[in-house]
Amino acid sequence: MKPKFWIIFYILILHFSLTFSQDKMNYNKLTPEETNVIINKGTESPFTGKYTDYKSDGTYTCKQCDAPLYISNDKFDSHCGWPSFDDAIDGAIKRVTDADGRRTEILCANCGGHLGHVFIGENYTAKNTRHCVNSISLNFIPIEINTEVKMEKAIFAGGCFWGMEYHFEKVDGVKSVISGYIGGKTSNPTYKEVSYKNTGHAEAIEVTYNPKIVSYETLAKLFFEIHDPTQANGQGNDIGEQYRSEIFYTTNEQKEIAIKLIKILTEKGYDVVTGLSKATTFYSAEDYHQDYYKKTGGTPYCHFYTKKF
């Protein structure tokens, strides 16, 4: 019996060894400089990396395995000498305690390649997080205009549409954001009618986005994180049914995602009052409401980013 056991054991070891080798073979070949950082956890010199001051729109991927890690919309200028991001693509980054026992190292969750370190509490952005990443650990895929991509729409109501529009226009993959009215009984309503008459409409935004770049779930999470979904019929000091929190879904998939996110928030202790309705006719608001903060140079007064997921 012993010879058979060792034969089986040898075959299993050979199988796993070959599988591991094949996985490694699928990774990109690294230069000595890249190996020093990605494998040996080195650090490139500050202000020398290709992407430190890079401004183009697109996606940053892992140099070793090509896994998507960050989107350009989350990149910001920290003037620290390395590319800085205040968020990462969901599930793309693994955090571990650094060898020095003090800092938090960030790795590609797919291949384990070293990226840099993450720092919390520096107040550079509203998310209060800085992923300090070595340029040499990254590749970059620019956004390409593809006429064959079918754009999709998402409709959210959460207080004054000026603030909602402000935040959604900053999202990578969003083509346009239109302020308008939805959910009521009055056809072609005006701002005055929605504000002072019982039209039943809510101030809302219609988001047109590229689903190959940004998912509906990402947009829905942002919706919940820039307004208070526990405040009924109002947002901040804007009080009234027209300022209610409501998601108007255009597909059953959007409905299921919204239900899932509301459940997550409820389990976290939020008393969510956000409504969920099938989208009806969306009416665009008057021209002076479109791109309001771009025109006026102001910032939202009742919409602030608060991480909830």
Helix (H, G, I), strand (E, B) or coil at 304: coil
- Based on its alpha-carbon atoms, the radius of gyration of the chain, rounded to whole angstroms, reads 24
Res 144: pLDDT: 67
Q: How many beta carbons lie within 10 A of that of residue 196, not counting itself?
A: 11
- Amino acid identity of residue 292, one-letter, is Y
| DSSP code per residue over 165-234 | HHHHTTSTTEEEEEEEEESSS-SS--HHHHHHS----EEEEEEEE-TTTS-HHHHHHHHHHSS-TT-TTE
Cα separation, 84 vs 82, in Å, equals 6
| Superfamily of 32-142 according to CATH | Peptide methionine sulfoxide reductase. (2.170.150.20)
How many whole angstroms separate alpha carbon 62 and alpha carbon 87? 15
Candidate CATH numbers 3.80.10.10, 3.90.1150.10, 3.30.1060.10, 1.10.1060.10; the one for domain 152-296: 3.30.1060.10
DSSP letter for each residue of 115-135: EEEEEES--SSTT-EEEEE-G
Q: How many CA atoms lie within 13 A of 136 on its CB side?
A: 22
What residues contact residue 218 under an 8 Å CB cut-off, 6+ apart? 90, 171
Q: Which residues are catalytic?
A: 132, 160
pLDDT score for 17: 43
Q: How far apart are CA 225 and CA 306, in angstroms?
A: 5
Helix extents (H) in 240-285: 252-267
247 φ, ψ (degrees, to nearest 5): -105, 130
pLDDT for the residue 244: 96
**Vertex 222: Cα angle to 218 and 226 (nearest 5):** 180
Tokens representing 283 are 């009416």
* Interatomic CA distance for residues 59 and 75, integer angstroms: 10
> What residue ranges do the domains of the chain occupy?
32-142, 152-296
**What would the two tokens of residue 181 be?**
């009215």
Task: Give the count of beta carbons closer than 10 Å to the beta carbon of residue 24.
Answer: 10
Name the 3-class secondary structure at 243. helix
For residue 249, what are its two tokens? 């879904």
Residue of 266, 219, 288 lying closest to 247 (CA atoms): 219
- Cβ neighbours for 30, distance < 8 A, ≥ 6 positions apart: 38, 39, 63, 64
pLDDT at 302: 84
Question: Alpha-carbon distance 83 to 178, whole Å?
Answer: 32
Per-residue confidence (pLDDT) for residue 6, from 0 to 100: 46
Q: What is the pLDDT along the chain (309 residues), one digit of tens a residue?
A: 344 544 444 444 444 444 434 345 579 999 999 999 999 999 999 999 999 999 888 999 999 999 999 999 999 999 999 999 999 999 999 999 999 999 999 999 999 999 999 999 999 998 999 999 999 999 999 986 544 678 999 999 999 999 999 999 989 899 999 999 999 999 999 999 999 999 999 999 999 999 988 999 999 999 999 999 999 999 988 999 999 999 999 999 999 999 999 999 999 999 999 999 999 999 999 998 998 888 888 888 888 888 999
- Tokens linked to 296: 């006026």
Contact 243, 160 (CB under 8 A): yes
The helix or strand, by DSSP H or E, that contains position 140, with its residue range, turns out to be strand 138-142
User: In the prediction, which pLDDT does 294 show?
Assistant: 82
Evaluate whether 32-142 and 152-296 have a shared fold. no
